[in-house]
Structure 1
Amino acid sequence: MDFELSEEQSLIKDSVTRLLRAEYGFEAREKHRAGPLGFSETIWQSFAELGLLAIPFSEEDGGLGAGPVETMIVMEAFGRALVVEPYLASVVMAGAALRHAASPEQRAAIVPGVADGSSRLAYAFAERGTRYDVSRIAMEAKREGEGFRLAGEKTLVLAGDAATGFVVAARTAGAPGDASGLGLFHVPADAEGLTRRGYPTQDGMRAADLTFAGVFVPAEAVLGDPEGAAPTLTRIEAEAIAALCAEAVGSMERMVGLTTAYIKERKQFGVPIAAFQALQHRAAEMYMALEQARSMMYLAAMNVASDDAAARRAAMSAAKVQIGRSGRFVGQNAVQLHGGVGVTMEYEIAHHFKRQTMIDLFLGDADHHLQVVAAEGGLDEV
């Protein structure tokens, strides 16, 4: 199979790599994190100017009309640099909701702001009782006149404290556990009755908990069928997993590079520790784990747009299993081969390992997705 990038894809890769190399060293990242939003608005606008925020949207909606491979290229580069800007939350997850559920009129009103960086959306779906199953969503959206009244709480909304608006999943009918009866709603951050509590996460990102105290949503803010959003929720999850796989591979690649450079420089008994055969074997095993993860990243990118829901779910879960396992193996060995410095927050490796851990846990860890693959009968049909 040909994995060569097209000319346009190579240009995207070169552009984002140059930008991050110039603006996103480890020290610069810490400066960006210390800002009032937890990321750099200047960098966010640079992403917009490069067209990165417009990548997944159709040209008719003001985007570039690109696809999963282009998103993979961007997220892999972001993983190498440990980017903290809310690309996953706004462009990938909330963007997927707009692409798959919003009407042409809604997309015309919302997408241009996302693409030019003036609007930052966050996807609010998780609740304390949902764990990895969105059918357990319990937050109510009761019909009132021509709109809906939202009441309940959302937790761990990525980049929710800096968002200008939210795509909210809520239940319009049925009971928690029912696949039907779910809807998606576009809610501005300043909506009456909406409060949020922001906080930092373990990996250097930020999130928020949201409380909806009778927030009214007009009919024009309902994205798609108010009772039939379940297929869209599964597509959002799949696209987020594919993007996370690419980010994880970029981060693993950086860890392997930092570790091999370190053991070539660190000396013991008067020679670089890379001269010891046991450490050579360990470095080789790290590289093998990275390449296994990369192959599954490609699998995810190639299958995320499939219309076969079962095959798509199996492919995403299989990729998530390998990403979780490889990320843990590479991270643990990178820390061990660095010695004491590997666990200090003053060194880059520790931050990569934290991000790998959070990627594994988000949207289902390796153990959870292994059960999903088994339930789907493996990958024979992918």
Structure 2
Amino acid sequence: MNFQLSEEQQMLADSAKRFVRDNSNVESHRQNKKLMPLNEATWQQLAELGWLAVPFEEEHGGMGMGPLETMVLLEALGEGLIMSPYIATVVLGGGFLRRADAATQAKTLPALIEGRLQLAFAAEEYERVFSLENTTLQGAVKGNDVVLNGTKASVMNGDQADLLVVLVRTGGQPGEKEGLSLLLVDANAEGIERVPHRMMDGRQGAEIRFADVSVSQDACIGELNKGYDVAKAVLQEGVLALSAESVGSMSVLLDDTVEYTKTRKQFGVPISKFQVLQFRMTDMFIAMEQTRSLLLASTLKYVEGHADADKAVHAMKAQLGRAGRKIGQEAIQIHGGMGMTDELGVGHFVKRLTAADGLFGNADVHLRGMVKPA
């Protein structure tokens, strides 16, 4: 395996880091306390920089890159507190559109790449451990239509999306892979109610309720009742993207903590001189590097189609939860009382890592996934 970034990948990372330095600060993030529309100016900047086009084919106006470049970009963006629905719209929503029919792609991908179209993946449900096969949202097939009834919980970007990719059960029983379908639904269709909420890390989402929402089978991504494999592949890309963003956040927590110990003095010396704190920061560094290495390995295995790619992605998400908790708790404790306040970035990045652990199943869920048959 080649672990070195190509020249193109390095340029992508460097430009993203510059963007973060120029556009991300704790004060503006701290003031963002109310539900509000997407910052169109920031989103358009991402579009103009070409970042919304990264995973898409050149024939649709994309850059013809893939999960590796997405990983590089999101790790760099994860070093800032930028509130953008990149994972929800580009990685998840765009991942489904890339697997849709040609007519759907022609209608949607150019608008997404230009920053004119927002998407969300509605999969999570209440009172069920997150797993695609646990889906219960009912889709009754009536002629050429599917009628949706039920609720989806904690839908990333669900409050602002123009289109929803809805995972629905059109056959079989909860716990079965067969009978799952993916439908591309107008988020403003009659019978849909969206209840916005703010997530732990400040980003927005929504509970989405479906009451007799009629959708044509022509809006199905893939075959009816055969949506599991498509949903699994896109979700794996989402997990890898979320992990990359989180590694960027971990690196900030480590760097800020080390820098703080050099300036904070006690008994007349910087606390960085205390051996016990040196040990704890070393543990933080080890946890971060282990996570970064596993991220690269799991992404390469996914891209190259290794036989154990599924286990590698599960391992990555489990490691993300454990390492994020370790690094976050140490950063707060070493910063002392200041680490608990909104004044520093520490608490904001810890919230982001905590939210990331809960998305798409937490560490315990993915540890169990590693021992299940594929």
TM-score, normalization by structure 1: 0.93
Helix, strand or coil at the partner of 1:299: helix
Partner of 2:278: 280
Which amino acid in structure 2 is aligned with residue 300 of structure 1? Answer: S
Question: 1:57-98 deviations in whole A, cap 9, x for unaligned?
Answer: 111222111111111012112211032211111111111112
Residue 307 of structure 1 and its aligned partner are, at CA, apart by: 4.3
Residues 1:169 and 2:167 are matched in the alignment: yes
Q: Which whole-Å deviations, capped at 9, do the CAs of 1:233-264 have from their partners, x for residues lacking one?
A: 11122111111111111000000010001000
Pair 1:339 & 2:336 matched: yes
CA contact (8 A) 2:35 2:197 kept: no
Asked if the contact 1:299/1:319 (under 8 Å) is kept, the reply is: no
Structure 2 partner of 1:312:
309
- Residue 355 of structure 1 corresponds to 352
- Structure 2 distance, partners of 1:5, 1:141, is 45
Q: CA deviation at 1:28?
A: 3.1
Alpha-carbon distance, 1:32 to partner: 5.8
CA deviations on 1:173-197 (whole Å, 9 max, x unpaired) are: 1121221111111111211111100
Residue number in structure 2 paired with 1:22: 22
Contact 1:148/1:219, CA 8 A, preserved across alignment: yes
Aligned to 1:153: 151
**Distance in 1 between the 2:176 and 2:319 partners?**
30
Contact 2:74 2:244 in 1 (8 A): yes
Is 1:97–2:96 an aligned residue pair? Answer: yes
Within 5 Å, give how 1:82-121 maps onto structure 2. Answer: 82-100=81-99, 102-121=100-119
Matched residue type, 2:7: E
Q: Mapping of 1:41-60 within 5 angstroms?
A: 41-60=40-59
**1:256·1:283 contact (CA, 8 Å) conserved in 2?**
yes
- Which residue of the other structure, out of 125, 129, 132, is the alignment partner of 1:131? 129
Distance change >3 Å, CA 74–CA 264, structure 1 → 2: same
1:231 is the counterpart of 2:229 = yes
User: What RMSD, in angstroms, separates the aligned Cα atoms of the two structures?
Assistant: 1.7
Alignment check: 8 A CA contact 2:30 2:342 kept: no
Q: Percent identity?
A: 39
Residue 184 (structure 1) aligned with residue 214 (structure 2): no
Preserved contact between residue 131 and residue 361 of structure 2 (Cα < 8 Å): no
Q: CA deviation at 1:16?
A: 1.5
Q: Offset at 1:202? A: 1.2
Structure 2: gaps of 5 or more residues: none
Q: Which amino acid aligns with 1:228?
A: K
Corresponding residue of 1:364:
361
Describe the SS at the equivalent of 2:148.
strand
Tell me the SS of whatever aligns to 2:121. Answer: strand
Q: Residues of 1 paired with 2:321 and 2:229: CA distance?
A: 25
The SS at the match of 1:298 is helix
1:204 deviates by 0.9
CA contact (8 A) 1:244 1:359 kept: yes
Secondary structure at the aligned position of 2:343 is classed as coil
* TM-score, with length taken from structure 2: 0.95
